[in-house]
């Protein structure tokens, strides 16, 4: 797990995914954000811009952040998730996270973010429950 | 301090270098055989410290960030410093959830994570001269556990 993440962050592969470090997909009323890189301040900047564009189009109620291909997050990630939560909460939306490893899980627990977001095993589980 | 191994690196305060700094420190401490948890603790702390230099120290202008890393007796010593604007009130900056830049969606958890994930954290700062963050963490290596 750790090895794979280090490899993903080699400068040569940086910006590989259209400069955002994540893939975006709208499934029904749910925006699924699959992170492809470690979620830090660098990734956070582009990520929030792209996510907000999709949210502002009006069809997005809920958001899923999938960490299957991202094994690391720091406090910048907390900011991104809280920020998106604030965007959808007023229309009764929810935010959830999926496939988090123990390192990312610890960040969520320590920050108290699990008080406002749900954790699921897979994207399918989250989509079903939301 | 007389470390058994030491490295110093200087790089520009651009956000791309946050992952670079994490990778360098991860590689440097591999010889101590840290657990995955210890490794991610240190990665998080380094990431927070470097991000602070970029966002707060230099406020997104380009300056130099110095990363010094030393090893002595299974303990990692990390020093991250900038020559940026400095912190006016250190104890306020270290309060969990406090951020001077809420408009940038900063969570205010940076120093809290550094404190939580490292054994010791020391912050020195002078207005107009810069900030230095010193951290220490003991590694209970796999070899000594078995």
Indicate if the alpha-carbon torsion angle B20, B21, B26, B27 is positive or negative: positive
pLDDT at B139: 96
Name the pTM for this structure.
Answer: 0.90
Averaged pLDDT, B22-38: 96
- Tens of pLDDT, residue by residue over B86-134, are 999 999 999 999 999 998 999 999 999 999 999 999 999 999 999 999 9
Burial class (CB in 10 A: 0-12, 13-18, 19+), B94: middle
CATH topology for B5-145?
A: Heat Shock Protein 90 (3.30.565)
Give the chain A residue nearest B101 (alpha carbons): A79
pLDDT at B145: 59
Asked if A75 and B48 come within 8 Å (Cβ–Cβ), the reply is yes
pLDDT at B65: 98
So what's the ipTM on this one? 0.92
How far does chain A reach from its first CA to its final CA, in angstroms?
28
Give catalytic status of residue B48 as yes or no: yes
Domain boundaries, chain A: 38-50+60-130
Determine which of B12, B19, B116 to mutate to test the interface with A (most A C-beta atoms within 10 Å): B19
Which residues of B fall within a CB distance of 8 Å from A2? 36, 39-40
CATH class belonging to A38-50+60-130 = alpha beta
């Amino acid at each position: 797990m750790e090895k794979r993440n280090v490899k993903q962050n080699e400068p040569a592969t940086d910006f590989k995914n259209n400069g955002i470090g994540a893939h975006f997909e709208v499934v029904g009323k749910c925006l699924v954000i699959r992170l492809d890189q470690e979620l830090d301040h660098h990734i956070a900047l582009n990520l929030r811009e792209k996510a907000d564009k999709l949210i502002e189009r009006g069809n997005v109620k809920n958001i899923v952040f999938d960490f299957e291909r991202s094994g690391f997050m720091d406090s910048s990630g907390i900011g991104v998730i809280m920020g998106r939560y604030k965007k959808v909460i007023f229309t009764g939306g929810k935010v959830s996270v999926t496939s988090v490893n123990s390192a990312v899980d610890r960040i969520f627990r320590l920050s108290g973010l699990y008080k406002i977001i749900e954790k699921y095993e897979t994207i399918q589980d989250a989509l079903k429950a939301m | 301090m007389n470390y058994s191994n030491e490295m110093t690196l200087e790089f520009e305060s651009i956000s791309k270098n946050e992952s670079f700094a994490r990778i360098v420190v991860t590689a440097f401490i591999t010889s101590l055989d840290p657990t995955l948890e210890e490794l991610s603790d240190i990665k998080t702390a380094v990431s927070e410290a470097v991000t602070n230099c970029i966002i707060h120290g230099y406020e997104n202008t380009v300056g130099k960030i110095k990363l010094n890393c030393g090893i002595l007796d299974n303990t990692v010593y990390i020093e991250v410093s900038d020559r940026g604007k400095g912190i006016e009130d250190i104890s306020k900056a270290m309060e969990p959830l406090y951020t001077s830049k809420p408009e940038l969606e900063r969570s205010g958890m940076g120093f809290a994570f550094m404190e939580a994930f490292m054994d010791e954290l020391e912050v020195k700062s002078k207005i107009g001269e810069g900030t230095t963050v010193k951290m220490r963490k003991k590694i209970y290596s796999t070899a000594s556990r078995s």
